[in-house]
Amino acid sequence: MDEILTYLDNDREEVRLLAAENIASLSASPEMLDFFKKDNFAAVQNLMQLINDEVMVAHQILNSLINLTAHIEICEVMNIDSFIYELILKIVLPKCLLSDPCCMLLNNLTKSPAIISKLLPNSENKENIGETQAPSKLGYRHLDNLLEIFCKGDGINGTKKYNPHANYHFLSGVFANISATPGGAEFLLGKSTVDDSQRLSRLIVFTTHKDKIRRSGVISVIKNTSFLIEKELKLFKPVEDGGINLLGHILIPLAGTEEYDDEITEKFLPELQYYEGTRESDAVLRQFLVEALLIMCSTLEGRELLRDKGVYYILQKLHLWEKSESVQEVIEKTVDLLQRDEDICQITEKVKISKIVEVVDSDDEEEEEINKLI
């Protein structure tokens, strides 16, 4: 293996490419982990310096780093401002051929709380930075730029793709990882420095996107930010009531084609009246969405909003359709709170709900998808 690494310095691109391909293959093997750890992660640091090589070589180098960052201790080795900045730069360049693998790598890196803290505003991350640690040159404006590219990069509704060589789906995992921290969740509920839009409002439109990776990250963000319900319940309300219609974007993936009586349909949000779409196909994501509704039930105002919009009836139909026992269980807990007398319901405090609902980051299925792509 040491000999293969020496070929990465060869003047001939085809030799470097062959070496990089071999290293990418070996980096996925658990048996090789000790090699990459030895000598203070020297091999990893060597690879980090090669992401600016010729495109085909750099792509294989990035594949190696993606494999290796499945291990949190290697993520910490890459916790260097200049390296993270270089990844972000490659993501935002509109014609870069390496944007998507850089998104995958950044997704893995943001499993590290230390790296997340560098990307958040100082007021959000100061508790996570040691007294002897210098402030990071990275900042939340980079996150706002990534959010812009994530939204524009897919080319939906006939708009031109930001980069014809990338789709940026894995940035949703970055936002999911960030939202799993208290400071990150608050950040995503704030307004963008790019256009003053509410950050979460830019993400929630992708809850029904055709790509599962994009949907998964966005739905994880919704669940995680729901824990701040007491501060931001207004966001669940329709736009005309000063919200961002978060409730509607949660319910649409849970709704089916069942028919309701007119008096029930009139309770629904406009987009759910006579809805003819399809439900979210993934049981884990359906569970996250129902858990967001369960978290809403932790406050009186949240319960009243769900009752007012006829959410009980949508959950009732979902329960009849649902095959997953874990999803059925969360539906039953949510419906129980909606149907109880308020005097009884008041004893179910947020702290009790938090015992059965946990924050989530980008999941194992996303890691499996990365493995397929590299």
Tens digit of pLDDT for each residue in 16-44?
Answer: 999 999 999 999 999 999 999 999 999 99
Q: What is the pLDDT of residue 348?
A: 52
- Give a yes or no: residue 239 inside a domain: yes
pLDDT greater than 60 at residue 370: no
**By C-alpha distance, which of 313, 252, 247 is closest to 278?**
252
In tens, the pLDDT along 246-258 reads: 999 999 999 999 9
**Pick the residue with more confidence: 299 or 105?**
105
In a domain, 315, yes or no: yes
Tell me the Ramachandran region of residue 242: left when phi exceeds 0, alpha when psi lies from -120 to 50, beta otherwise. left
What pTM did the predictor assign?
A: 0.90
Mean per-residue pLDDT for 118-133? Answer: 54
Confidence check: pLDDT of 374 > 70: no
- 229-246: buried (b, 16+ CB within 10 Å) or exposed (e) per residue? beebbebbbbeeeebbbb
Does pLDDT of 225 surpass 70?
A: yes
Q: Which pLDDT value is given to residue 354? A: 56
Does 225 reside within a domain? no
pLDDT bin (cut points 50, 70, 90) of residue 170 is: very high
67 three-class SS: helix
Residue-number span of the structural domain to which 58 is assigned: 1-78
Q: How far is it, in rounded angstroms, from Cα 194 to Cα 173?
A: 21
End-of-domain residue from the set 44, 78, 112: 78
Query: Would the pLDDT of 153 be above 90?
Result: no
The answer to whether position 259 is within a domain reads yes
Residues 43-78 have pLDDT tens digits of 999 999 999 999 999 999 999 999 999 999 999 999
Residue 119 forms part of a structural domain: no
Is there a domain that residue 108 lies in? Answer: no
Please say which residue of 32, 56, 78 terminates a domain.
78
DSSP state of 297: T
Least confident segment among 66-80, 205-219, 238-252: 238-252
Residue 136's CB: how many other CB atoms inside 10 A?
Answer: 19
What integer is the mean pLDDT of 357-370? Answer: 65
**What DSSP designation does 291 have?**
H
Q: Do the domain assignments include residue 129?
A: no
Q: What is the pLDDT of residue 235?
A: 85
List the CATH number of the domain containing 29.
1.25.10
pLDDT band at 134 (very low <50, low <70, confident <90, very high): very low
One-letter identity of residue 37: K
Residue 267 belongs to some domain of the structure: yes
Domain count along the chain: 2
Is residue 188 pLDDT above 80, yes or no? yes
